[in-house]
Amino acid sequence: MLGAFMKYRSLRCRVLPLVAIVLVASMLAAASRSPIHVDTPAVSQEAIASIRQSADRVDQLLLHRWTEKGIEPAAIADDSTVLRRIWMSLAGTVPSLEEIRRFESDREPDRLDRWLDALLHDRRSSEYLAKRLARSFIGNEGGQFIVFRRDRFTSWLSEQLHLRTPYDRVVREMVATQGLWTGEPAVNFVTQAAVDGRIDENKLAGRVSRAMLGQRIDCAQCHNHPFASYTQSQFEGLAACFAQARLSPVGVEDDPRRVLTLDIPATSGATSIKADRDSPAMMSSLHRAVAPGVPFGREWMPTEGTSRENLAGWITHPVNRRFERAVANRAWGIAFGRPWHEPVDDLPNPLESPSESDLLDLLGADFRAHHCDYSRLLAVICSTRAFRLASTHPGLESADSVDRIENAWAVFPLTRLLPDQMIGAMVQAGVLETIDRHSHLFTRTVRFFREIDFVREYGDAEEGQGGNQPATIPQALVRMNGKLSRELIGANAFTSSGRISSMSHDDHSRIETVFLVCLTRRPTAAEEEAILPLFTESLGKNRSLAVEDLFWTLTNSPEFCWNH
């Protein structure tokens, strides 16, 4: 009796701690799941019809061009290919297997439009787009403080995109907001230019001209622009719009007494913007004051308010078509991986009045007419026929005709995945479930740190530099032999390869599923035949090695590495 009691006590001593550990672990696991529940957005047929109408106008424009040039456009791509493009362009990843299965079970003819609409309501999209846009507004520079500020700025921008805040208002807030970088995240557009407690107005003028107007007015910083009509004094005026801004204990604020003063070097007629401009009283005969100014459309400049507020009003003024054209060009670049006009921030001057045959005018006007809704603009672009064309075309078989076909947008262009897209696609392909903000905290944390490591080795292209350069040899090495690649491909209970190799009933099914996970399509018969040796040669019954090999093969293929 006593023995039984002791045995029971001993068992209790061993089991109870285990039960407690399991209980705590379960509670932690439950607590770390996102409290946000998936909300399927109600798809508005009216909104989709309106987007279709706008896309039709773009189609007419391009059709007219193709006819004029005697170019036959590529065939329409299959829906899976377009779905992959939409995911890659707007969320920086590939669709998960569960999404692909759901998409395949949706048999309605307008399924692409609805899935596009749904993705643009998904946080994955606003978070990814915010990262892309933030690069143009505040760069991808390193440094401890700018990293925190960039994160704060990017989160704010993501929220605005998700809420569909009119984009012109978003831009105005960036340029003119006052306050602390923590409490007013928009103000980090200005704090990015803080160096040693001072604000570099040249940098901000450069950002405004490039990211918001699609003009390289900053090329006139040191001398008159070599090609365009911008002068050095025009750039100085633009920079002077930020001269009132200063850093204080309450963050960025405007001091109306502050003016920009410039050195006048004794040796030349040129000037440089370097001087201390705290007090006009400090000006000597070697300095001159510069009044805030703009390089064109002076009549659009408001006169009440701080010089930053006036600048913000001028940038987004309804008549300032450079703003909407720049927005349209960058959005086209996000969707296609290549902007309509390159470089993305050096657009030609608009014509006197908007032209129906100018795509940027067309999209820009449509963007304005729909409350500067950035997500809608992307939806329009992704609904165009050009976006849904195949990336194959008989003209791409010959070196003589490729440029002609591609320059006319008669085929979907091949563009290299940006580092964000590459990591997003690899991580998503590595698991079968959708990775989003509803994913487990552990999954999101792993992805966060993997991204940092990966980008450190893979590089982080500046906006506009991604799609038009081949990958480098170190990048190929990271993909082939890197730690991340090894971890994602390795077959275990959590990875796609482990689950596919153990749960699929035959090799055909395994090959098909790996293709879906990596390439968002099924293999052709010829491909399956070519791949089969991976499964049959010397691997015995252990299919996980063959599945790993297939994963490696597909994630290193041009089809995976290039948006198509």
Partner 1 sequence: MNFSHFCNTRNRFSRRSVVFTVASMGLALRLPAMEPKAARIRGNDRGKSLITLWLSGGPSQLETWDPHPGTSIGGPTRDISTAIGGVRIAEHFPLVAGLLDRFSIIRSLVSKEGDHERGTHLLKTGYRPDPTLMHPSLGAIVAHGIPSESLEIPSFITLGSDNFPSTGGYLGAALDPYRVFVPGLSGQNLVANVDAIRQQRRLDALDRMTHSFEQGRMESVRRTLHSHTLKEALTLMSSEQLGAFSTAEEPSAVREAYGDNPFGRGCLVARRLVETGVRSIEVSLSGFDTHANNFDGHASQAAILDPALATLVGELEQRDLLNSTVLLVIGEFGRTPSINPLAGRDHWPHGFSCLVAGSGFVRGKVIGSTDPEGIQKMPVDPVNVADLAATVLDRLGIDFSHEVTTPVGRPMKLSEGFPVKSLCFDS
Contact call for residues 294 and 314 (beta carbons, < 8 A): yes
Say how far apart CA 414 and CA 336 lie, in whole Å: 9
Rounded least distance, CB 14 to partner 1, Å: 41
Cβ closer to partner 1: 297 or 343? Answer: 343
Report the residue from 156, 167, 454, 552 that binds partner 1 according to the rule CB under 8 A. 552
| Strand duo 245-248 + 260-263: pairing | unpaired
Task: List Cα–Cα distances, 253 to 157, 240, 275, 314, in angstroms.
Answer: 21, 15, 20, 20
DSSP state of 290: E
* Residue 92 binds partner 1 (CB under 8 A): no
Q: Which residue, 417, 553, 413, is CA-closest to 485?
A: 553
Rounded least distance, CB 427 to partner 1, Å: 17
* Residue 269 binds partner 1 (CB under 8 A): no
Residues 488-507 that bind partner 1 (CB under 8 A): 489
* Residue 462 binds partner 1 (CB under 8 A): yes
DSSP state of 356: T
Q: Please, which residues bridge with residue 253 across strands?
A: 246
Amino acid type, 83 = L
Contact call for residues 412 and 77 (beta carbons, < 8 A): yes
Helices 374-382, 45-69: inter-axial angle, 10-degree rounding: 50
x/- contact string, 526-545, with partner 1 (CB under 8 A)? xx--xx-xx--xx------x
* Residue 416 binds partner 1 (CB under 8 A): yes
Report the residue from 35, 249, 470, 540 that binds partner 1 according to the rule CB under 8 A. 470
Stretch that binds partner 1, among 17-25, 88-96, 381-389, 551-559 (CB under 8 A): 551-559
Report the residue from 56, 278, 346, 451 that binds partner 1 according to the rule CB under 8 A. 346
Task: List Cα–Cα distances, 480 to 52, 406, 466, 492, 519, in angstroms.
Answer: 41, 30, 20, 19, 17
Q: Where are the beta strands (DSSP E) in 381-499?
A: 415-416
Stretch that binds partner 1, among 104-112, 169-177, 205-213, 283-291 (CB under 8 A): 205-213
Rounded least distance, CB 23 to partner 1, Å: 39
Residues 381-410 that bind partner 1 (CB under 8 A): 390-394, 396-399, 402-403, 406
Rounded least distance, CB 414 to partner 1, Å: 5
Report the residue from 264, 459, 502, 504 that binds partner 1 according to the rule CB under 8 A. 459
Residues 185-204 that bind partner 1 (CB under 8 A): 195-196, 202-203
| DSSP, residue by residue, 241-276 | TTTTEEEETTEEEE-TT--EEEE--TTSS--BS---
Report the residue from 274, 371, 404, 437 that binds partner 1 according to the rule CB under 8 A. 274
Rounded least distance, CB 467 to partner 1, Å: 7
Say how far apart CA 355 and CA 350 lie, in whole Å: 9
* Residue 219 binds partner 1 (CB under 8 A): yes
* Residue 557 binds partner 1 (CB under 8 A): yes
Cβ closer to partner 1: 4 or 526? Answer: 526
* Residue 127 binds partner 1 (CB under 8 A): no
Rounded least distance, CB 210 to partner 1, Å: 8
Rounded least distance, CB 563 to partner 1, Å: 11
Q: Which residue, 322, 316, 28, 324, is CA-closest to 172?
A: 316
Say how far apart CA 15 and CA 12 lie, in whole Å: 5
Say how far apart CA 225 and CA 238 lie, in whole Å: 14
Cβ closer to partner 1: 164 or 521? Answer: 521
Report the residue from 166, 179, 297, 343 that binds partner 1 according to the rule CB under 8 A. 343
Q: In a 10 Å sphere around its CB, with 0-12 CB exposed, 13-18 middle and 19+ buried, how is residue 415 labelled? A: buried
* Residue 473 binds partner 1 (CB under 8 A): yes
Report the residue from 17, 143, 302, 305 that binds partner 1 according to the rule CB under 8 A. 143
Say how far apart CA 258 and CA 263 lie, in whole Å: 16
Residues 505-524 that bind partner 1 (CB under 8 A): 524
* Residue 455 binds partner 1 (CB under 8 A): no
Q: What is the size of the binding site for partner 1 (CB under 8 A)?
A: 82
Assign residue 231 a region (left: φ > 0; alpha: ψ between -120 and 50; beta: otherwise).
Answer: beta
